[in-house]
Structure 1
Amino acid sequence: MLSVLASIHGAIPSSLSISLWLKSDKGEVTFLVDLPDECERSFLQELQDVYPGCTVEPESERDDHTTEQECWNTELRVSPDVLSLLTFDQFVDETDNRSLADPVSGLLSILKSGRAGRVVPAIRLTIQPATRRRVAAAERVLRRFHHRFVVDSLQSTYLRWATHHLALYRVLAAILFRFVARDALPLESSAKTDLKLFQCRLTVFVNVPIGQKQLAERRLIEMAGAFGRFTNATVKIHRFKPAQRERDKRAFLLSPREVATLWHPVTESGDAVSRVERPMFRELEPPVFLTSNKGTVLGRVKFRQQKNQFAIDEDDLRRHMLAIGKTGCGKSTFLLNVVSQQVESNRGIILIDPHGELVDDVLSTVPKNRTNDVIYFDASDDSVVVGFNPMVGPIGADHTLVADGVLTSFKNVFGFDEGSAPRLLHIFRNTLLTLIGTRHASLANVQRLLVDANFRKSAIANVTNKAVREFWLSEFGQWNERDRTQYIASLQNKLGAFTTNERLQRIFDGDRKGIQLREVMDQSKILLCNLSKGQVGHDASTLLGSLLLSSLQIAAMSRADVAEDERPDCTVLVDEFHSYLSDGNTTMADALAESRKYRTSYVLSTQMLEQLDSATLAGVLGNCGSTLCMTVGPRDAEVLAELLGNRLATDDLMNIPKYHGYIRQLVNGAPHTFSMTTLSPPRQNRQRADLIRKVSRQRFGVPDQKQPA
C-alpha cells in the first residue's frame, strides 16, 4: 500500500482528494475507495498490481440498507501532525515477538456488526496531496521545534500551538518562538521529513435506528478509541468538539507510511482477522496474445477491469475441451454458446444430450439458412422415428471395428467384462461379425441368429471370415444341446431388455432410413440427439449414447480416404459424457487420442471426475488440451488445482460464483490458465424450434405404422 500511495501522490493535483473507507456491510467489513475520474484507472491498476487477489467492483452494485436509520459522525485529528504516528513496522505480534502484527486488525474488529444491518459503522480517511505552502509550514515548525527554549516545557507548548487547527494558536506559537527560542538542536527520528505528505481528514460514522442516540455515541467513542494503538506519548488523536465550526476543522498531515498503516487491504497473511469480506473469486491474468475474432468465442476475460471476449482457434479446439462443474453453475449456457457459434459458422455439429433441455435450446437458435441441415434425433418420439443402425458402418469400414464398437457399448450397459463373462461375449462377438456386412445387419436379428437354425445356416454360408465360420461350424456346433441352450439363454436375457423395447426396435430397424454419421461429418450437418433419460429410460439412453459414440469414432477414422486438408471440421459435444462410459471402456480416451487428425473436435461436459474410472480419467485429462473448471467438489478440486496450476488452491475451485470459471486454454498450442465468465445466452425463438422439428421429421424420419404421423 505504501508504494500505491507514493505513486498516486504525484499523479493527482492537490485540489483533488481520495476517500479510503472501512465499512461494515451486513456483518462483513468491506474496503471502499471514492476516487476522482482523473486517477481512478491509475489507482486501481496500481492497487491490483500489489494485491493480485484483490477484486474491484462498483459500490453501486451492493445492496443498500432499507431500514429507517440516521447517521451520526465525529471527526478526529492527529496532533501534533508534524511528528509521526506508530507505523506498521513498529507493531509486533504478541504471540510471536519475531513477526509483525497487522495494525489494521483492531479497526476491523471494532467495525464488526450484526448481519441484520441494524448498526452500520464506518471509517473514512480522506487524503489529498499537501500543497507546497503547507509542507513548507510544517518544515518551519519542525525546525523551530528543535531549538532550546528558556523553559523546557515551552517547547511542547510551542509544538501544540504551532500545529493547532485554529489560526489564533498558530500566531501565538510564532510569537512564543520569537521571544523564548535559542540555538537549534538536531532533528529527531520521529519527525516527518518526507516531502510526499498528504492533507488528511479522519471521520468515523455510524448508522443506527432513529432515536438511538446513546447507542450511536457509544459506538463513536469505541471507534475513536481504537485509534489509540497508533499514538505514542507525544502524538495523539483527538476528537473535534461537536460544536466546532466546519471552517475551523483544519486538515492534518500524514506521510504515505502513516496512511498505509491506517488503511490497507488485508492480505492472505491476515486470515486471523475474522469477518472481513474477501473475494470469492480470485482473478487470474490472461495471456496478452488472446484473440477474440478468430475461432470460437468461449467467454469473457475476468481480470480487473478487463472484460473483453476471448476465443479459441480451430486447431486448438481440435485438441478437445473438457468442461466440469456442479449442476446449476452455468455449464449449459457455456455449451449453448459454443454450439450456436459452430452452427452460425456452417460447421458440422453433433450434440448428445442425456437431458433434452440443451437440445431444445439449440433448436431455438438455429438460423434460417441452416434449417435443412438439422437432423433432430428424439429417442422418445413415438410418432416419427429417425432410425440409427450401429451395425452398418461407413462404406469401407472394418467390420471388426464396427462389431467391437457395438460390443463395447453393450458391455457398458451389461456391466461385465471379459473376466466375468468371457463365453457370453465370445458368442456375442461372433454373432455380430456374422451379421455385419450383410443385408441382415441389425440388432433385431441377433436373437434370430441364435435360435433359428435355418436362418443361422443361410447366414453362415455368406461369412468370409474363417475364424467366424470355424466358430459356428466347429465350436458352436459341438456343444451339447443343454450347454448351448444355457449359453444362448444367458445372452438372450441380457439382450432381451433392449430388443423387446419398442422404441429401440423402431430406432434400430435396419430397413429405416436414418442417421449416417459419415454424411453428417462430410456435409457439415447438425445432428441433435435428445436422449432424455426421463422419457427414454436410463439404460436405453445409456445404450444409445454409447452406440453413437462408438459409431462416431468409426465414421471419423473412415475419413482416412480423404486428404486431411479436405476434411470438414466437425465438433462433437457430449453432455454428461460419463453416462456412456464404464470401467474399462476406453472408447472416449481412444477417440480423443486419434480424432484430431480426422478433424473431429470433442467438447465434453461432466459434473464430477469421480464418475470416471482411473484409466478413462487419465485419458480424458491427458488428451483434452483445454479445461474449463466451474464450481466443483473437494475431491475434484484437488485434481483440478494441480492440473490448472497458476497457484490455484482447492478452496478457489470450490467457491466459484455462477457463470464464472477458471480455464486452462490452449493458445497457439501452449496452455494458459486465467479467470473468465460465460457469455450471455443467445437469443432464442421457440417458433423456429417447432419449425425445425417438423422439417427434420419430414426429411429424415419415418412415420410409425402404429402411431399417427
Structure 2
Amino acid sequence: MRQSPLPQQSEASQTFALSIIPPLQTQQEQIMLEAAMQSLVLDSQHPVALELSGSNEERRFIVRATTQTALDHIETLLRAQYPQLEVRPLRPFEDPFRLEPHESVSAVELVMGGAAYLPLRTWTERKGGQEEVDPILGLLAALSKLPYQTRAIAQLSLVPAPVDWSKNSLRKTVEHSLEPERRAQQAERSAAGTGVGAVTIGMPLLIALGVEAGLFLLLEPMLPAWVGNSLGSLINGQMPTLTSIQIITLILSIAGCVILFVVIAMLVDRIQHSLKPTPIYNMSMVEQKTSRVAYRTRLRLYVIGPQTHDIRVDLEQAQSTTFSRVLSSLPARWQWQREKQELKRKRKDVMLRLIATYRQYHLASGSYFTPRTLSAYSAERLLRANRHALRSGWARGLRHSQQYITVDALSALWHLPNASKLSELALVEYRKARTLLIPPEVSRLSESFVPIGYSEHAGHRLPFALIPEFFTVHTFIGGKSGEGKSTFMERVSAEAMTRGGLVLIDPHGDLCEHVLQLVPPSRVDDVVLIDLADKNASVGINPIDVTLGRSRDKAIADLLKTLSHIWSTSWGPRMENVFEMALRTLFEINSIMVAQDPEHGPSQQYTLMDVLPLLTNENFCRSMLQQIDDDYLHRWWREYYEPLSLMQQRDIINPVITKVTKFESVIARRIIGQGRSTINFTEMIAERKIILINLAKGIVGADVAGIIGATLLGLIQITLEEQGVKAAEERARFPIIIDEFQVMAGVDYGALAELRKYGATFFLATQSLEYLQKLDDFLLPTVMANVKQLIIFHMSAQDADTVHRELGVEPEDILNIDMHTCYVKMPAGDHRQPTFSMRVIPATMGDKLLAESIRTRCRIRYTTPVETIDGMLRDAMVRSIRMAPSSQKKAGKKGGRPSNSNTPRPHSTRINSAAEDPIPPIFDLEQEQPEVVLLDAPSDFTLLDSSHIDNNTVESSGEPTDIQSSDVPIAASNDVNDVNDANANTPTDAPAKKKKNRGKRALNRSLERAARHREALQKQAELEQATQDGTYTEQSATDQADEEEHELVELHAYSDPHENG
C-alpha cells in the first residue's frame, strides 16, 4: 500500500514539535492516556515534553521532542488513543516556546514535595457514578485572558524512570506506618517481663556515657592530685583517706556527672527522633503510586512577554555625553523602569494563576508541588535550543531528577479535553469532521491511475483515483454550493474524456466552460458543444426529421415518451392521441418532401412548431392531408376529429397547444424549429463523442433551460436504449454528468437501472435533497434506489439527516466536513467498500485558447447563424398561413367562397342528424389528388386583432424580428357562412367585422415589412456571393427584384381578397 509521508521537520531548525488538534468525536469516558503513557518515551536519550500553551489569540496542546524519531513515536501513540485528532507540525516562527530578542521570560519550577512514594491527585475515582470535573479545564482557564503579546507555557518534560524505582518503598504497601513503633514497644515489654536486662542501655545512654568519658579524659589534667591518688587507692583495693571537704567535693562531682549523663541521654534521644521521625502514610495511596510505571519529570512554567521600549541604548549614549544630557534623560529612565516593573508584574500575575491552578493536584496526605523561582539566566538557558539537548535547553537536568510521576498522574496532568466540553472552550481549535481512511482494496486499485484526491486519517495519506469500475455504476453527488461538487465533476469529466464518450449537462455554464478547457488535445475534433448562451448561432434538433433514419412510429413514440415525462402531471390519453396523430401527419409530409427534393427538402421539413397551425388552421390541415397516402391517418381526421364540435376540438387541442407553445421562446424555437437536425445523437453515441450542453439557465430562463435540457436528455436516453440491439461488449459506455439535475423536471430517472444495461452511467448532482422531496415525492427515493455510489459534501442539517444512514456516519460529520472534502461510498472488486473521506485535488488550469478553438469548430460544424434560422422560421410561418387545398383556390379565384354543400368542414359544428346532412369526407380517396397550392385565406379566418400589432414590430435594424405565437394567436374557427347557416337567428356583429378587417390590414403591413427586410438581407447575401463567384450582373439582380416584388403583390392580395376585389 502506497503511503504519502507527512512533511518532516528540518533537522537544522531543531524544532521537533507538533500541535495537537483534539477531535470532537472523543468518547466522554476517555479522559486519560494511561495506556499510551506507559510507552510514551523511547528511552532516556529521547526525552519528551508535553505542553499547554496559551496567548490572547489561541490555546494549544503541544508535544515536543529532541529527535524526529521520538516525535514520530509519540504521534503514533496519540493517534492510537485519539484516531480522529489532527496533527500539525510547528514551524519555528509558530512555536510558542521561543524567545525573541525583544522579549523577556519568567520561569518557575514546580518541585514535588513529600515522599517519593506518595501520589498526586489523579481523578481516577468516581463519585455518585459521575466523573469529576476534568482538571485540564482549569489549566486551560489559567492560560486565557493573557496580556497582549504574552505567552504562557506549562511544560512537563519526562524521561523513563528505572523499572524498580519504587523497590525501597514496596514494604510500605503491606506494612502499616505505625508498625515499627509497635514492634519497639513490644520488645521493651518483652524484655521487662523476662527480668533480663532490667536496665536496658539504649543508644542514648551509650552516647551519654561516652560523652562523660571523653570529658573526664579531657579534664584529667585539671583535676586535683588527691582525685588521682584516691582512684589509684580504689583500684589497688584500699580505701582512700579523704577529708570532709574532699568527700563533699567528690559527692557533688558524682551527682553532676549523673545529671549530665541523664541530660545528654535525653538530648540524644530527642535529636534522634527529630532527625528520623516515624512516617505516617496511607498504604493504599502508596500502593497506587509504587505499583505503576513512573517517569523522571520536570514541571516548569514559563511566561514570555515583551520587554519595555528599547530606551537603554539612548541612556547609554547619554552617559557618554554631557552631564546636562544625563540629567535630561533621568525622566525617561524612570519611565522605563516603571514600564519594566509593570511588565514584570503582569508576568508574575500570570505565573501566580498557573501555580494556583496546579494546587488542584495536591493531596493533604500525599504529594504536592512547591514553586521554585528560576533566575532569568536559567530561564533563558532552558528556552535556548542546542544540539546538546540533554545538557541545555528544556531537557537540562532531566535524567537525574528525583521527582517521579506515575502514568496515571501524568495522564491527569496532560490530556485532551472531553468532547462534551470541547466545543464550549474558547480559543481552542478542535477537529469537527470525522475522517475515514480509504479501504485497502480501493487504494490498491488506485495506484495505477492519476489520483484526484487523498484520504487522510490517523497519520496516513493515501491517494484515490477514478478506477474503471467507478464509471460502470450510477453516482449521486450532493453538497451545497462552493463545497467542491463542481471540482469533483471536473475531475470526473477530465478522466472520462480520456477514456471515451461523455455527456455533460450544465444548467449554469461555468462547469461546461471549465471542462471545455480540459479537453485533451487529441480529442478536439470529438467535442460537440450545445451552448444556449450563444447569441450568434444555434444547433438544430428536429425530432421528426426523417433524415435521422428512424421509422415514423419509433421516432414519434420516443418523442411522446420524452414529452410525457416532462408534463407527466398534465398528460392524458386524449391529448396524447391528438398529439400523436398531428406528429404522424407532419412526419408523413416530411417524408414526401425529402423524397421529392433530397437536396432542399430536409431543410424545409416541418417541426414541432407546425403542430399548432396543423390543429388550428383549416387550410393548412387540408393541404397537408391532400399529400398523405396513409388511409388510417385520413380516417382519424375524417371520422374522429372532423365530427367534433368546435368546443370539443378546443378541449382536446388546448392541452397540446399549451405544451407546444413552450417551445416558441426565442432560444427554444431556434433549436426545435429548424427543419434539418444539425445534431445526430445516434452517430455521436456510436462515435463516442464528447457532448457538452450549456443550458445557461441564468440567460434563457429556468423554464426554457428545463424544457430544452429535459428534451435533449430524453433524446439521448432514447438513443442509448437503441444500443440494446448490440452485444454488451459492443455498446458504447457513456458517462452522463448532470449538474443540478432537479432543474430538468420530468426526466425519467426511474429508467436508470435499465439505461445502465445500455451503456449509460449517470452522475447526478444536486445542492438540496429537501428541495427534491418537495419537487417530487418519488424523485429522491427513485434516484437513491438506483445509485450505488455516493459522493457527499457538506449539506444542510435536514439533508444530512436524510443521507447519513446511507453512508454509515453521523449527521454531525456531514455538517462539519471541510470544504472540498467529501464522504465516498462505492463498490470495488465485487464488494461494497466502507465509507471513506477524501479531499479533492483542484483541477488544473485549462487552456482557454484551446477552448475557444473548440467553440469555433463546433459553431461551424453543428450550428446555424441565428439570422438564417429566424428567416427560416418566418418563412415557415408564412407558408403555414398561405397553404390551402386547390379546391378552395379555384373558388377564391372566382371572387367567392365555396358553398357549404361542396366544401368539407373539418372544423364545423357537428350536425345531429347524419341522415339529413351526412358528414362529407375531406376528399374522395378515389379521385386524383390535387396539387397543393397557395390560396387566399378565407375571410372568416381570424389571424390577428389590431390591438396586437405594433407598427414597429418589424424594423430594418439588421436584427430579425420574430413573430411569436403569443403575438399572433391563431385559432381554429368555422367558416362564417357555415356558422350563419347553423345559427340563422344570430345577428351579424358589424363592429367585430371592422375590427377584424383592421387586424388583417395591420398584418398585411407587418408581413410587407418582414418581406422587405428579408429581401434586403437575401439580396445583400446573394450580392456578396455573386461578387465572390464573378456571376453577378445587373440583369440578374433586376430579374430577382421583379420576382420578389411580384411575390409581395400576391401576398398582399392574398391577405385580404375581398378588400382588393
Deviations 1:498-538 (A, max 9, x none): 32x23322212343442222222221111111111122222
* 2:472 aligned with 1:318: yes
Q: Deviations over 1:408-466 (max 9, x none)?
A: 36427xxx524xx7755554454345545754562222213212335435656759796
Higher mean Cα deviation, 262-271 or 183-192? Answer: 183-192
Q: Amino acid of the residue matched to residue 278 of structure 1?
A: Y
Letter in 1 for 2:558: V
Q: What residue is the counterpart of 1:255 in the other structure?
A: 406
Cross-structure match for 1:190 = 286
The answer on 1:519 being equivalent to 2:670 is no
Distance 2:103 2:676 in 1: 74
Residues 198-253 of structure 1, C-alpha deviation per residue, up to 9 Å, x if partnerless? 22222333455655332322222112211112220130112122339577786422
* TM-superposition CA deviations, 1:563-600 (whole Å, max 9, x none): 1111121111111111002xxx361232x221221121
After TM superposition, the structure 1 stretch with the greater mean CA deviation from structure 2, 241-250 or 319-328, is 241-250
Give the corresponding residue for 2:737. Answer: 573
Q: How far did residue 608 of structure 1 move?
A: 0.4
1:484-523 map, 5 Å? 484-485=649-650, 487-488=652-653, 491-499=656-664, 501-523=665-687
Query: Which amino acid is 2:479 matched to?
Result: G
Indicate the residue corresponding to 2:702 in structure 1: 538
2:798 aligned residue (635, 640, 647): 635
Query: Which secondary structure does the structure 1 equivalent of 2:838 belong to?
Result: strand
Q: For residues 730 and 159 of structure 2, what CA distance do their matches in structure 1 show?
A: 66
Give the SS at the match of 2:482: coil
Measure the CA separation in 2 of the matches of 1:268 and 1:109. Answer: 17
Counterpart AA for 1:651: E
Is contact 1:399–1:436 with CA below 8 Å preserved after alignment?
A: no
Alpha carbons of structure 1 residues 430 and 55: separation in structure 2 relative to 1, 3 Å:
farther
Q: Distance in 1 between matches of 2:779 and 2:820?
A: 27
Report the 3-state secondary structure (helix = DSSP H, G, I; strand = E; otherwise coil) of the residue aligned with 2:783.
Answer: helix
Per the alignment, residue 589 of structure 1 pairs with: 750
Matches within 5 A, 1:95-114: 96-113=128-145
Find the aligned partners of 1:483 and 1:539 in 2 and give their Cα distance.
Answer: 30
Give a deviation string over 1:639-682, Cα, whole Å, max 9, x none: 1112111xx22222112221111112222341421111001212
Q: Is the 8 A contact 1:108 1:273 kept in 2?
A: no
Which residue in the other structure is 1:165 paired with? none
What secondary structure, in the 3-state scheme, does the structure 1 residue paired with 2:834 have?
strand
Name the structure 2 match of 1:239: 371
SS at match of 2:835: strand
Cα distance between partner residues in 1 of 2:836 and 2:631: 54
SS of alignment partner, residue 845 of structure 2? coil
Give identity over the alignment, percent.
25
Q: Within 5 Å, which residues of 2 pair with 1:41-440?
A: 41-60=72-91, 71-80=105-114, 81-90=116-125, 92=127, 96-113=128-145, 120-130=151-161, 132=162, 139-140=167-168, 180=276, 189-191=285-287, 192-194=289-291, 196-208=293-305, 210=307, 212-233=343-364, 234-243=366-375, 251=401, 252-271=403-422, 274-275=425-426, 276-290=428-442, 291-293=445-447, 297-345=451-499, 347-391=500-544, 395=550, 398-399=554-555, 401-408=557-564, 410-411=566-567, 416-418=569-571, 424=575, 427-432=578-583, 434-435=585-586, 438-439=590-591, 440=605
Q: Is contact 2:55–2:143 with CA below 8 Å preserved after alignment? A: no
Q: How much does 1:621 deviate?
A: 1.2
* More divergent stretch after superposition (457-466 vs 690-699): 457-466
CA contact (8 A) 2:107 2:375 kept: no
Mark the CA change 1:481 to 1:144 in structure 2 (over 3 Å): closer, same or farther: closer
2:476–2:763 contact (8 Å) kept in structure 1: yes
Does structure 2 conserve the Cα–Cα contact (< 8 Å) formed by 1:72 and 1:216?
Answer: yes
- Distance, in Å, in 2 between the alignment partners of 1:181 and 1:450 is 118
Question: In structure 2, what is the equivalent of residue 667 of structure 1?
Answer: 828
Shift of 1:23: 2.9
How far is 1:683 from its partner? 3.0
Q: Which deviates more, 51-60 or 22-31? A: 22-31
Partner Cα separation in structure 2 for residue 407 and residue 425 of structure 1: 10
Change (3 A) 1:34 1:188: same
Quick one: distance in 2 between partners of 1:277 and 1:77? 31
Deviations 1:166-208 (A, max 9, x none): xxxxxxxxx9999959999996542533573222222333455
Unaligned stretches of 5+ residues in structure 2: 1-32, 183-270, 308-341, 380-395, 592-604, 869-958, 960-1016, 1022-1061
- The amino acid of 2:407's aligned partner reads P
Residues 352-382 of structure 1: CA deviation (Å, up to 9, x unaligned): 1111111111121112111101111111223
Deviates most, 386-395 or 662-671:
386-395
Once residues 62 and 388 of structure 1 are traced to their aligned partners in structure 2, the CA distance between those partners, rounded to angstroms, is 64
TM-score by length of 2: 0.57
- 2:174 maps to 1:20: no
Secondary structure, counterpart of 1:84 in structure 2: coil
Count of matched residue positions in the alignment of Structure 1 and Structure 2: 664
Cα 1:113–1:570 change in 2 (3 A) is: farther
**1:57 aligned counterpart, secondary structure:** strand
Rg larger in 1 or in 2? 2
| Alpha-carbon contact 1:333-1:680 (below 8 Å) kept | yes
1:380-429 deviation digits (Å, cap 9, x = unpaired) = 223232223345577468345413344236427xxx524xx775555445
| Helix, strand or coil at the partner of 1:46 | helix
**Aligned counterpart for 1:611 among listed residues 771, 776, 786:** 771
The one-letter code matched in structure 2 to 1:258 is A
**Residues in 2 aligned to 1:682 and 1:629: alpha-carbon distance in whole angstroms:** 22
Q: 1:569 to 1:99 in 2, by over 3 A?
A: same
> What letter corresponds to residue 549 of structure 1 in structure 2?
L
Range with greater deviation from structure 2 (595-604 or 293-302): 293-302
- Quote the residue 1:601 is aligned against: 761
User: C-alpha deviations, 1:137-171, integer Å up to 9, x for none?
Assistant: 6544676998889999xxxxxxxxxxxxxxxxxxx
Q: Secondary structure at the match of 1:289?
A: helix
- Alpha carbons of structure 1 residues 229 and 88: separation in structure 2 relative to 1, 3 Å: same
Alignment CA distance shift 1:698-1:140 (3 Å): same
The 1:426/1:266 distance shift into structure 2, 3 A limit, reads: farther
Q: Does structure 2 conserve the Cα–Cα contact (< 8 Å) formed by 1:5 and 1:256? A: yes
1:323 and 1:603 in contact (8 A); partners too: yes
Structure 1 match to 2:234: none
Cα distance, 1:272–1:294 mapped onto 2, change above 3 Å: closer
Secondary structure of 1:30 counterpart = strand
**Which residue pairs with 2:725 in the alignment?**
561
Q: Distance in 1 between matches of 2:729 and 2:718?
A: 19
* Cα deviation, residue 333, structure 1: 1.0
SS at 1:514 equivalent: coil
Give 2:37's aligned residue: 5
Gap regions ≥5 residues in structure 1: 153-174
Higher strand share: 1
Per-residue deviation, 1:3: 1.7
* Deviation at residue 471 of structure 1 after TM alignment: 5.2
Please give the alpha-carbon distance, in whole angstroms, between the structure 2 residues aligned to 1:56 and 1:102.
Answer: 23
User: What residue is the counterpart of 2:1030 in the other structure?
Assistant: none
Change over 3 Å in CA distance of 1:444–1:184 after alignment to 2: closer
1:532 and 1:541 in contact (8 A); partners too: yes
- Maintained 8 Å contact 1:513/1:701: no
Q: Which amino acid aligns with 2:797?
A: P
Distance 1:296 1:441, change over 3 A: farther
- 1:650 is matched with 811
- The one-letter code matched in structure 2 to 1:595 is L
Provide the residue aligned with 2:786 in structure 1. 623
**Which amino acid letter does the alignment assign opposite residue 31 of structure 1?**
F
Give distance in 1, aligned partners of 2:494 and 2:668: 30
The residue type equivalent to 2:826 in the other structure is: Q
In structure 2, the residue matched to 1:451 is 616
Whether the 8 Å contact between 2:541 and 2:672 is mirrored in structure 1 is yes
SS at match of 2:286: coil
